[in-house]
Amino acid sequence: MEVEQIEIRDHIKRFAPFDNLPDETIDRLATQVEVAYYRAGSTILTYGESIGDLYFIRSGAVEVYRRNGDLYNRLSEGDLFGQLGLMMNKKVRYPATAIEDTLIYLIPDAIFQELWEAGEHFADFFDIEDQGLLRAAVSRQEKANPLMTSRVRKLITRSPVTAEASISIIEAARLMTEEGVSALVLMNPGMQVDQEWRPGETPLVAGIITDRDLRTRAVAEGLDYSTPVSEFMSTDLVYIRSDQFVFEAMLSMLKHNVHHLPVLHRNKPIGVVALSDLVKYESQSSLYLVSNIHHQVDVRGLKRLSRDTAATFVRMVNEDANSHMIGSAMAGIGRAISQRLLELAEEKLGPPPIPYCFMALGSMARDEQLIVTDQDNALVLDDSFVPEEHDEYFKALAKFVSDGLAECGYAYCSGDIMATNQAWRQPLRVWKEYFTDWIEKPDAKSLLNSAIFFDLDGIAGETQFAEDLKALIATKAQRAPRFLAYLAHAALNRKPPLGFFRDFVMENDGKHNNSINLKRRGTAPLSDLVRVHALACGSRAQNTFNRINAIEETQLLAEGVANNLRDALELIAIVRIRHQALDIEAGREPDNNIEPENLTRFERRNLKEAFQVISNAQKFLRHRYHASGGGSIN
């Protein structure tokens, strides 16, 4: 060994995590190290560039930054950086600059990966602030995108422009022009923006109008300019709180197809967030896509946009959006396509003879839809429904929408859970009977096939019908231990792919031989078991993350378990999402099957941790409902 290599060896072994490595390992490492010198002020790493070494600071000082330019950490002798890029996708995640003349030892990626895989002590050193492996992995992801770290209040640059709802069209137009705003917040008589308000009192805000409303609801309809805007203002308002994150504002706009959100602080409006305010954030394209969907005049136009859906998905993945953001955005796009298809169907068939609600089921209802998906939907009809008089219309409407969704890439449901199936095209009273029977007279077979109906969301028409069903489910389910036991039994049918020694258990089905289906063996069993606990708690939440939050508030789970479930869901979902994005970029048909040899060591290690969380949660579920007296789980 040369003198310089001996000096490298003696210096590196003074610092963790190298201080616990065997002498022969340190000797071999020292022969592989290269030395680099950086002057003060020079760039060491640039975001997004390829990285092939772990950086060890021999002398000097380095600043590491977040993607948005904020300082992340200041490092000195013995500190390491660059490991996250090596563990993820071999791209720099945190830029670095020398703030003093700095000498760096470059440890090759191959050596780093070998040490990571071989030694628990070495690998555990790279956990963040003594967090668990999953928490560390997920927290790194959360810090990567400003949508997840910026609060809505940062978008507010001025107080809302307000007027009483009795203001005329011409007065509203003049005020909005003078103030240079695209939305006007309309107050109830005698109410002021800054006055105190308590629940139960008359709301401060009566409604909102936008420049688009003036064009489409006033001018285009030929209304007299003296008409009060209260006659066409939006009254069913969607708000956002000032302490919520920007990504939540984005998701709210997606879900409700609105371009303006009043912002509340302590129940008082302090501003309005517009679509244009989100342009500075990278994932705004999904909002524009939804807007474009609603402007299409036929199914062919909607089908053409399916390519944009895939591009939006890939863009959000590459911008480090988390699984909740991506799942909600894709569900928002799916909702918008369904809504537009319903409008086109009504244009073709005429207005519906009675009120109806179009329900999304499964992943779309949970805001967890990805690019590989099928359609699950149903129709809830008004109780005035008479089959002989009305069913022909709704059968045709269901077929038009289902065929249109298939044209747009949403495959027909193999289990026939679609509104085209007469069983799932029924009046509200029948749906209430369905859920009452499932809950009060459960059996294993019916619940295995009907569990998907407990993830529901009204996306068009009389959406209150869906809310009525959610209320019924929440009331009855928590009082039905036998139903919960059967549902728990169904939730245990899908196991995480871990063997006796925590090795991966591969699929063996021919086409996807020696792979792991991350939906069937990961996200699905996790969402299944969370659904059981959420229903037991009386929660109306649909999204799995929101259900975990609701469960956590009841203290049903031991301390820390809810966090583990959240982290496991995020980790498995984001690996699945990235796999699909890579397939799309490579021109392959995306799927849910990953081959472990194509994963990084970091991903393999953390997937095993995530699957273990699911396994432990299933053991708890089995114990809870075996011992509950509500029914045995075999």
Report the alpha-carbon distance of residue 426 to residue 387 in Å, rounded.
9
Mean pLDDT of 266-293: 75
Tens of pLDDT along 62-97? Answer: 999 877 777 777 888 888 999 888 877 788 988 999
Report the alpha-carbon distance of residue 311 to residue 326 in Å, rounded.
12
DSSP run (H or E) holding 298: none
Q: Where are the domains of the chain?
A: 3-126, 152-281
Query: Do the first three CATH levels of 3-126 and 152-281 match, i.e. the same topology?
Result: no
Per-residue pLDDT band for 124 (boundaries 50, 70, 90) equals low
Q: Tell me how crowded residue 404 is: count the other CB atoms within 10 A of its CB.
A: 22
Q: For the ranges 98-107, 219-228, 276-285, 529-538, which has the lowest average pLDDT?
A: 276-285
Tens of pLDDT along 165-182? Answer: 999 999 999 999 999 999
Pick the more confident residue, 103 or 126.
Answer: 103
| 458 DSSP assignment | E
In angstroms, the first-to-last Cα distance of the chain is: 63
For residue 31, what are its two tokens?
């022969």
The SS3 call for residue 481 is: helix
Residues 110 and 87 sit within 8 Å (Cβ to Cβ): no
Which pLDDT score, from 0 to 100, does residue 268 have?
A: 82
Per-residue pLDDT band for 120 (boundaries 50, 70, 90) equals low
In Å, how far are 65, 228, 240, 504, 621 from 559, measured between CA atoms? 33, 55, 30, 28, 16
**Single-letter residue type at 60:** G
Pick the more confident residue, 135 or 424.
Answer: 424
Pick the more confident residue, 342 or 276.
Answer: 342
Tens of pLDDT along 37-46? Answer: 999 999 999 9
pTM of the model: 0.72
The SS3 call for residue 272 is: strand
In Å, how far are 193, 313, 332, 443, 455 from 360, measured between CA atoms? 37, 20, 11, 24, 8
Q: Which of 296, 366, 388 is nearest to 531 (CA)?
A: 366
Mean pLDDT, rounded, of the chain: 87
Report the alpha-carbon distance of residue 69 to residue 97 in Å, rounded.
12
Tens of pLDDT along 241-271? Answer: 888 888 788 878 877 778 889 998 877 888 9
- CATH entry 3.30.70.20 includes domain 152-281: no
- pLDDT score of 633 more than 60: no
Q: Which residues of 261-296 are buried (b: 16+ CB within 10 A; e: fewer)?
A: bbbbeeebbbbbbbbebbeebbbbebbebbeebeeb
The residue to which tokens 């401060």 are assigned: 204
- pLDDT score of 144 more than 60: no
Report the alpha-carbon distance of residue 293 to residue 340 in Å, rounded.
7
Who contacts 24 (Cβ-Cβ below 8 Å, separation ≥6)? Answer: none
Phi, psi of 262 (to 5 degrees): -60, 140
Residues 277 and 338 sit within 8 Å (Cβ to Cβ): no
The class that CATH gives domain 3-126 is mainly beta
Tens of pLDDT along 4-13? Answer: 899 999 999 8
